[in-house]
Amino acid sequence: MTLATLSDVLKPAEKNRSAIAGLVVLGWEDAIAFTEAAEEVGCPVILQAGPGCRRHTPLSVLGKMFTYLAERASVPVVCHLDHAHTFKECSEAIDCGFTSLMIDGSMLPLDDNIALTARVKGLAKPHKLSVEGEIGAVGYAGGAASAMTDPEEAARFERETGIDALAISIGNVHLQTEHAAMIDWTRLADIQSLTRAPLVLHGGSGIPPSVRRDLARETRVKKFNIGTELRLGFGNALRDYLATHPAEFDRLRILSAPIAPMKNIAMEIMRNLQA
C-alpha cells in the first residue's frame, strides 16, 4: 500500500528541491492515467477531487476509487479533497478514505478563515491526515479577480491554524488556457521569510513550465495544482479519436482513447518538477 498524506510527499520534496503535481481528477480515465504516469516517472502523485468532480460523482465513490489505485500503486498516492468550503465536507471526506483535506476559506474574513481552517486541522489531527489552507484568493480567468496574499496575514494564518501546506496567491490564476501567469517573486520571497509550511500554487496550468521548474527548485513552492492543462489534453485527444473513428459508438472505447495522451501529459508535468 502506498496511500500517503500531503506531508508524506511534500516534506521529502523540500529536501530534494522538487515539487509534487496535484492533478485534478474528473473521472476514472484521469485517475488511472495519472497514477500510471507517476509509476512510470517514479514520483508521488496527488489525486485531487475538486468541487466539479464531486458534483458529478459522489464523494464516497471517489474515495474508493482513489484508495483502490493508491493501494495498488508502487509510488505514494495522496487522496486529496480540493476546495472544500465546509467542515462537513471535510468530515465526510475522512469517512470516505481521503488522506488530505484542502479547506478553502479564502473568501471569508481573515478571522473566520482562521477559525474554520483551525477547526478542520483539529478534525484531521487524530487521524494523522494533512490539511491545506488558503490565504489570499486565487481568481479565475474571465471570472472573479484574485486577492494577492499579504505576507503578514500568511504568517498569522499559519501560526494560528497549524496547517500542513499553505496555498497562496502571487499571480497564479485558475482556468488559464495559456501559460500567461506573471508570478510576483518579491511577494513570494516576503511570504517565505515569514512562514515555514510548504507552499501551494493553485492555477498551475497558467504558469509556464520553465517557471514551475524554477519555483520547484528555488523556492518553497512544493505543490502545483494542474487541471486546465489536462482537460485541454483530454478534450483534444477525444476530438481526434472521434474524428478518425466517426462510426464508433462504444463509450468504453471512446473514453479510453484519451488515457494514453493524458498519461503522457502528466508524465511531462511530473518530470518537469523533479530534481
| DSSP string for 92-153 | HHHHTT-SEEEE--TTS-HHHHHHHHHHHHHHHGGGT-EEEEE-SB--BTTSSPPBPPPHHH
- Greatest Cα pair distance, the chain, in angstroms, is 59
Mean per-residue pLDDT for 108-132? 98
**pLDDT digits over 220-273, tens only?**
999 999 999 999 999 999 999 999 999 999 999 999 999 999 999 999 999 999
- C-alpha cell of 72? 495498488
Which pLDDT score is estimated for 1?
55
Mean per-residue pLDDT for 171-197? 95
The residues carrying an active-site annotation are 82
Compute the mean pLDDT over every residue in the chain, rounded to the nearest whole number: 96
Which pLDDT score is estimated for 180?
87
Mean per-residue pLDDT for 156-183? 95
**pLDDT digits over 38-89, tens only?**
999 999 999 999 999 999 999 999 999 999 999 999 999 999 999 999 999 9
Residues 6+ away with beta carbon under 8 Å from 95: none
* pLDDT band for position 151 (cuts 50, 70, 90): very high
DSSP code of residue 25? P
Start-end of H helices in the chain = 6-16, 28-41, 51-56, 59-72, 87-95, 110-124, 151-161, 185-194, 209-218, 228-244, 251-256, 259-273
Write out the residue range of the structural domain in which residue 64 sits: 3-273
Q: Determine how many CB atoms are found less than 10 A away from the CB of residue 268.
A: 14
Facing residues of 241 across strands? none
Mean per-residue pLDDT for 195-223? 97
This prediction's pTM: 0.96
Domain count, the chain: 1
Over 90: is that where the pLDDT of 2 sits? no
> Cα–Cα distance between 31 and 26 in angstroms, integer?
8
Specify the CATH number for the domain of residue 242: 3.20.20.70
Mean per-residue pLDDT for 103-129? 97
